[in-house]
Structure 1
Amino acid sequence: MIESLKKGGLLLLIFVLATSGLQAQALKKVTLEDVFKKGTFSQKSVYGINWMKDGQYYSSLVNRAGFPAVVKINLATGEEEEVLLDGRVLGINFTSYSFNADESKALIATDVESIYRRSSKGVFYVVDLVTGEKQQLMNGEKISYATLSPDNDKVAFVKENNLYMVELATNKLTQITTDGEWNKIINGSADWVYEEEFSMAQAFKWSPDGKKIAFIRFDETEVPEFNMQLWGKLYPEDYRFKYPKAGEKNSEVSIRVYDLASGQTSKMDAGSETDIYLPRIYWTQDPNQLAFIRLNRLQNQLDLFHANATTGESKLILSEKADTYVDLDFNDNLQYLSDGKSFIRTSEQDGYKHIYHHAMDGSLIRQVTSGPWEVSELVGVDEKAKKVYFVSTEASPLERNFYVIDLSGKNKKELTPSKGSHTINMSPDHRFFIDYYSTADSPVVVTLKEASGKDIKVLEDNAELQDRLKSFALGKKEFFSFPTVDGTELNGYVIKPADFDPNKKYPVLMYVYGGPGSQNVRNSWGGTRDFWHQALVAEGYIVACVDNRGTGARGRDFKHATYANLGKLETIDQIEGAKYFAKQPYVDANRIGIWGWSYGGYMSSLALMIGNDVFKTAIAVAPVTTWRYYDTIYTERYLQTPQLNPAGYDDNSPITHVNKLKGNFLLIHGTGDDNVHFQNTVDLVNALIAADKQFETFYYPNRNHGIYGGNTTWHLYTQMTDFLKRKL
């Protein structure tokens, strides 16, 4: 009896092993074609959410048989009830929409073309939602940032550096500014450097009553021009635009308010110093009171002003200073409460980004949140219930979860306890929210929820993608941390082949960005680069990533550690990461490589040169090679000016370290990069030649910082894959 059981158990074991072997064989390897040609791993989501005024519905932009449509969704059921805009009926293939305050009209855009990273222009229409009639603005000329007025009957926009307004009932056009001129004066939209580094493109706002428009005016006359050649014609064209490199002249900025009734424009008093930044304007609840933020050139002092929108007279409300720099919140976490008596903001002043409640005179009422974790976004303030909703890293720097807390700072509650990353879109009445939730292993699931966190309906579960993923041999993203030689704890992840054998020796490719406040090591769904890494893993590589000092989500001290000396500590930490992997028994210590893009290309270049004893190979895509060539706002925030801190610019430039190059180096750049100029790569190439170093390089004609378009992405990643197969 025992013998027969042994035989049966053995047969069962053989069957299980054989079956699992067949299953493993049946799983497909991720290929470059899957990632870049077939879109095999593209995830779906829910776009164009617009909460409607009655609190019972929201609208969403969907695709219907190849045409855009805006549908109305019942919040109680999650079901579609009505089509509000139908692109097929309108005969317009629109890509964005917005409603006026009473939801009687919609503003839609089509034929939109990008200018730089956030700026664009397109053809705009106003659609009457009752009659279905459409009204084309400016006879179809392309305009930027068309915005409906709060009182429903006007649209403001920017065209050719001037601010305009049109009255919808009469089609009467008012040109608010007349001095706009290319490469000289800009009204109502940001100059290049504000757009890139202060995350803004539109630079005007309607007052709450629709009677005034506040706007920022940029005088870039004295800003030096940068010249890019555009290839493809018999004689290449010059493209010249204003780009202030570190230490050079910035635009002179001023804030103006246009009064519709009088037709007069007033200038707000921002002080006598002109070498400043004015990166944000806000209307308070008082339609004649404008708020604005002023930063000094070194960005180590942030001032909040309130100004009389008629006279321009201003008053300093609060000031925050730092030995390094004061963080300007790019999520616009400044909200004026409807009682007109107070406002909410975020600040890093206690060492971590937290929420503060101030009276209108700037005095502190209380710090609402506190602890050794960061508020990543202030989602909303429910004034009636006296509750504040926010996303934070309290659970872990790798996670993002949604919380609610009383305005008093008590009774904090987590609303999304699932581990992973939650992005929140909350209704203005704070009764509902849409949760975009993902982990490193699972694509986004979009769920409509009650404010309590209770599910109403799953709007997108990416079930098709989930099923598709099961047929591929994917490496799992494993998170870890390790101490460096000086005791700093660093977070990282590693992806091993699905058929990983601990007795084998694998080559390792590290992926780096590493710039101030950035974060690559997160428990969230990745994108194209993650699946390129999976394609490499399928070929027998291990892919790893380490977030060095200077990166985000771990408090001010960790982030500001690299101040005035960019590149030094970050490179040390990446080398420490490589040494950590070199000690692992499953790693071939002689085959460790690193790659990165932009700041990551800067890092991979430095790592290969300074860490020539641990790194064999590096790829640098669109790298900064000297901070002297990068823009004022970003560079001086972290390095001061070249005049004040020349060593900070030169000591950790890859150009300075070319003599240390020993390994295999691939350098890639787009010649049309308006952000990190091709000049960076040209000068590094010259230095490498002078140092008699052999390397490989490739340029993409006319491609910008993203290096895409047509067959470009496929070509780029195929080239990098081939290089790694040859050199790693």
Structure 2
Amino acid sequence: MSPTSAPTTPATLPLQPPPQPPAAQPPTAAPEAQPVGVQPPGVPATASQPAAAPVSQPLAAPTSAPAAALTVPSPAQLAATQTAPASSQAESAPASSQAAKRRLTLDDLYGSQPIDFDGEYARGMRWLDEQHFLHQREGRLMRVDALTDAAQPAYDDERLKAALLASGYFDEMTAERIARQPAQWTNDRSAALFQHQDRLYIYRFADGRLTRLTQEARPRREVVLGPGGRFVVFVRDHNLYSIDTQRSVQRQLTRDGSPTLLNGILDWVYQEEVYGRGDWRGFWISPDEQFVAYLQLDESRVPQFPIVHQVTTQPSQETTYYPKAGDPNPVVRLGVAPTTGGRTVWVDLPKHADTDILIVRVSWSPDGKLICSVQDREQRWLDLNEADPKTGRARTLVTERSPAWVENLPHPHWLPDGSFLWRSARDGWQHLYHYARDGRLIRRLTGGDWEVRAVHGVDAAGLVYFDGTRDSVLERHAYRTPLRGGPVERLTEPGYTHRASFSPMCTYFFDTFSNITTPTKVHLRRGDGTLVRVVSDNALAELEQIEYRPPEFVRFAARDGFPLTGLLIRPVDFDPQRRYPVWCSVYGGPGSQTVWNRWGGQSQMYYHWLAQDGVIVWLADPRSASGRGAVASWQAYRRLGRTELADIEDGVRWLIERGWADPQRIGITGHSYGGYMTCYALTHSTLFSLGVAGAPVTDWRHYDTIYTERYMRTPVNNPRGYETSSVVAAAKDLHGRLLIAHGLIDDNVHFTNTAQLVNELEKHNKLFDLMLYPRDRHGIGAGGEHLRALTLEQVRERLLRPESQSASE
């Protein structure tokens, strides 16, 4: 994005329709679509938004640095960053014409036949080569010509079905289902693997041969087909196994697995905080399928946490190994086993032999070297290492350091000559660097007060394609720049948030885009950004029938001058002479941006439904989640809650200063980290009269090691930070009415958090509301409709009071 100066006076920035794109020369007569809208933020669960991934250059062995080493730019420096892309407009500007339109109803959103506010657009396309992609259509996997959209079956599913039936292992319905959607493919799509009744089968398309690989029906976890189809690897009973698919020979690769010693399978904290929620696989097959690398996790010192299921006559208990801040982590090491069986070679990481480490990324380079990223427990540095799979000897290619924390970085993007592209936030902004195979920095490819968010590839001309935020902190665009160094060129239209999917050599890309006022569209573009054809126009007719006021981005300055952006949704009949209650939706976790110029579907329309009853809806990320670089996020280091609340307060005060936000009727809500911020706001501020907190962390000593210590260090190293960030410790200062909702079998943010806060609130005779959901975990799913009704009841009773009543109190 281009740096601009933060305004001295906050400005309201309603989103204007983007300019018409330049005329394209598509091969067909398909016209360029008119600009469309973008989705507003919801509460992220795993990082639904792509998070910036820092990267760095070779450095000496990492050493501890005192907290005082943290340096951040001054407010004046930070103010010289990007701002919301829109022009000023009078606050009282009327909504667009509402002739013949109707009010939005809850049935439109959550009824038996709700409106699909996402609309219909192509998704799930997977490139095969420079002109063809795979796409599921009407239940069949099709091979599609990108230029003409001509489609044909990707394989002969009738032949596959016949082979399944002829084997005698499958009934008609099962054979039909499997034939339409095989589970896994080899890289060249010559074979497919699938499971049925705890048995494994492989089908080879060339000769139509079906082979049953396992005779016994036994459960297996994380079954993976090798890239060439020679081996299948899986986990059973905490041990790693392989199957030779040519000979149907099964081998046990490890034998020491137990409930506390995990081979090739992740524990709770590693899947939640390192490899991604729901991804339990802890092994990786080499490109030539000679080896399988795997993590071994020793949990013998990790505390266990009981979770009790209480909706049956006789309660049952599940136990999770869950390390809370300061507790022992699982002891991790990286091994390499031959897929044909034999001794495991352990990767030698001598720099870290006496260090409590995390192994946060594992992959293979194209030339068969094992690549792993290692961090210290508090994640203040990261080493990118390569190892010889035969000997286990390792060397460090790149070391990253930070005055606060280093994010878990993406894998290197390998180039044909063995060099690689690497993303790093070493200067506070995530950018792209080109390294030689030996770890020598060749050059920095991008720079400035904006961030690179994804790398797509390099074309034959040596142009690097990537996604970033150079043009706006609220938008994501596709760009390219020469590998040899040079200017950055934007390939996508301004005024939208884009998600690009490039063909293998970046000849074409699918451009999936939207903005805050228009649902998602899909275009096919050439590598230079010119339009080829419209894939999905996604004109959502139902949207035209609903009356709602377009959302507005507003730009305001925090108390120290830091530039922030909020999303404002006003009632359709907004009258600047009235005073309205305000409903603030927050998340606020470091790096978890929620305010984007993109279409928000059902979540956004829910906000409009609230607004039509006379509520102003407000979303504003604090600086640590604003998308303005790691340098902004680092300001929350060792003091979670404090900086975020100050920024949230400043946004609310900006609304109050406009004269039409009622200072006596300000509500705030959020889930998970947003639940923490809601509780923190009601115990550390007097601005809010109502809070609805879902699954809140109430004291960071109760949350897991890897997430918490990244931002707070350990309780021993930062005792004051843990105390001042605690909602439990501040329970006596509760201001306003707080509703807490929590699932009793939440295995992420344990109910202990809510129980301890409730205990302190009772001690200090503070009135509050509590709703428990016995069947729900971290997300309130089974009780979602009930919680929504309960929240609306709170909004109506405590915020939607007559102005005269609130003014007299």
TM-score, normalised on structure 1? 0.89
Distance 2:614 2:472 in 1: 31
Task: Name the SS of the counterpart of 2:519 in structure 1.
Answer: coil
Equivalent of 2:625, from 551, 575, 588?
Answer: 551
Q: Confirm or deny that 1:277 pairs with 2:358.
A: yes
Distance 2:565 2:397 in 1: 39
- For 2:354, the aligned partner's letter is E
Deviation, structure 1 residue 264: 2.8
Q: Determine if contact 1:100/1:150 at 8 Å carries over to the other structure.
A: yes
- For 2:295, the aligned partner's letter is I
Distance 1:133 1:474 in 2: 58
Query: Match for residue 27 of structure 2?
Result: none
Distance 2:626 2:272 in 1: 19
* TM-aligned CA distance change 1:186 to 1:95, over 3 Å: farther
Query: Match for residue 175 of structure 1?
Result: 252
Q: Determine if contact 1:95/1:109 at 8 Å carries over to the other structure.
A: no
More strand by share: 1
Overall identity of the aligned pairs, in %: 35
**Aligned pair count?**
683
Q: Determine if contact 2:299/2:329 at 8 Å carries over to the other structure.
A: yes
Deviation, structure 1 residue 107: 3.6
Q: Determine if contact 2:701/2:722 at 8 Å carries over to the other structure.
A: yes
Deviation, structure 1 residue 555: 1.5
Equivalent of 1:369, from 446, 451, 471?
Answer: 446
Query: Match for residue 558 of structure 2?
Result: 484
Q: How does 1:557-706 map onto structure 2 within 5 Å?
A: 557-612=631-686, 614-706=687-779
Q: Determine if contact 2:252/2:341 at 8 Å carries over to the other structure.
A: no
* TM-aligned CA distance change 1:124 to 1:611, over 3 Å: farther
Distance 1:45 1:704 in 2: 32
TM-score, normalised on structure 2? 0.81
* TM-aligned CA distance change 1:157 to 1:49, over 3 Å: farther
Query: Match for residue 16 of structure 1?
Result: none
* TM-aligned CA distance change 1:135 to 1:705, over 3 Å: farther
Q: Confirm or deny that 1:326 pairs with 2:402.
A: no
Q: Determine if contact 1:278/1:294 at 8 Å carries over to the other structure.
A: yes
Q: Which has the higher contact order (CA 8 A, sep 6+)?
A: 2
Deviation, structure 1 residue 137: 5.9
Distance 2:97 2:332 in 1: 64
Query: Match for residue 151 of structure 2?
Result: 80
Deviation, structure 1 residue 472: 0.9
Equivalent of 1:254, from 333, 339, 346?
Answer: 333
Distance 1:459 1:162 in 2: 46
Deviation, structure 1 residue 144: 3.3
Deviation, structure 1 residue 505: 1.8
- For 2:323, the aligned partner's letter is P
Q: Determine if contact 1:95/1:108 at 8 Å carries over to the other structure.
A: no
Distance 1:683 1:162 in 2: 39
- For 1:718, the aligned partner's letter is A
Q: Determine if contact 1:519/1:547 at 8 Å carries over to the other structure.
A: yes
* TM-aligned CA distance change 1:477 to 1:95, over 3 Å: farther
- For 1:724, the aligned partner's letter is V
Structure 1 residues 2-45: Cα deviation after superposition (integer angstroms, max 9, x where no partner): xxxxxxxxxxxxxxxxxx99983742222222222333134244
Task: Name the SS of the counterpart of 1:618 in structure 2.
Answer: strand
Deviation, structure 1 residue 570: 0.7
Distance 1:620 1:452 in 2: 46
Deviation, structure 1 residue 131: 5.7
* TM-aligned CA distance change 1:690 to 1:314, over 3 Å: same
Query: Match for residue 534 of structure 2?
Result: 458
- For 1:339, the aligned partner's letter is D
Q: Determine if contact 1:96/1:109 at 8 Å carries over to the other structure.
A: no
- For 1:706, the aligned partner's letter is G
Q: Confirm or deny that 1:148 pairs with 2:148.
A: no
Structure 1 residues 364-385: Cα deviation after superposition (integer angstroms, max 9, x where no partner): 1000111110001112233x32
Query: Match for residue 190 of structure 1?
Result: 266
Query: Match for residue 305 of structure 1?
Result: 385
Deviation, structure 1 residue 694: 0.6
Q: Confirm or deny that 1:534 pairs with 2:608.
A: yes
Query: Match for residue 117 of structure 1?
Result: none
* TM-aligned CA distance change 1:83 to 1:293, over 3 Å: closer
Q: How does 1:266-415 map onto structure 2 within 5 Å?
A: 266-271=345-350, 272-287=353-368, 289-329=369-409, 332-340=410-418, 342-382=419-459, 384-415=460-491
* TM-aligned CA distance change 1:125 to 1:568, over 3 Å: farther
Query: Match for residue 102 of structure 1?
Result: 188
- For 1:345, the aligned partner's letter is W
Deviation, structure 1 residue 713: 2.1
Distance 1:92 1:141 in 2: 22
Distance 2:573 2:103 in 1: 11
Q: Determine if contact 1:228/1:240 at 8 Å carries over to the other structure.
A: yes
* TM-aligned CA distance change 1:665 to 1:518, over 3 Å: same
Distance 2:606 2:181 in 1: 29
Distance 1:169 1:203 in 2: 25
* TM-aligned CA distance change 1:136 to 1:570, over 3 Å: farther
Structure 1 residues 170-190: Cα deviation after superposition (integer angstroms, max 9, x where no partner): 3222222222223x1222232
- For 2:338, the aligned partner's letter is D
Query: Match for residue 794 of structure 2?
Result: 723
Unaligned runs of 5+ in 2: 1-93, 162-172, 800-809
Task: Name the SS of the counterpart of 1:428 in structure 2.
Answer: coil
Distance 2:488 2:729 in 1: 51
Task: Name the SS of the counterpart of 1:717 in structure 2.
Answer: helix
Task: Name the SS of the counterpart of 1:404 in structure 2.
Answer: strand
Per mean C-alpha deviation after superposition, the further-off stretch among 239-248 and 646-655 is 646-655
What RMSD in Å do the two structures reach over aligned CA positions?
2.4
Query: Match for residue 161 of structure 1?
Result: 238
* TM-aligned CA distance change 1:23 to 1:347, over 3 Å: closer
Deviation, structure 1 residue 260: 2.9
Task: Name the SS of the counterpart of 1:560 in structure 2.
Answer: helix
Distance 1:413 1:30 in 2: 41
Distance 2:577 2:512 in 1: 40
Distance 1:300 1:700 in 2: 38
- For 1:545, the aligned partner's letter is L
Structure 1 residues 441-491: Cα deviation after superposition (integer angstroms, max 9, x where no partner): 12221223222223333333322xx21111111232210111122222211
Distance 1:471 1:191 in 2: 49
Distance 2:508 2:253 in 1: 39
* TM-aligned CA distance change 1:682 to 1:527, over 3 Å: farther
Distance 1:691 1:640 in 2: 30
Q: Determine if contact 1:71/1:85 at 8 Å carries over to the other structure.
A: no
Per mean C-alpha deviation after superposition, the further-off stretch among 22-31 and 150-159 is 22-31
Per mean C-alpha deviation after superposition, the further-off stretch among 80-89 and 588-597 is 80-89
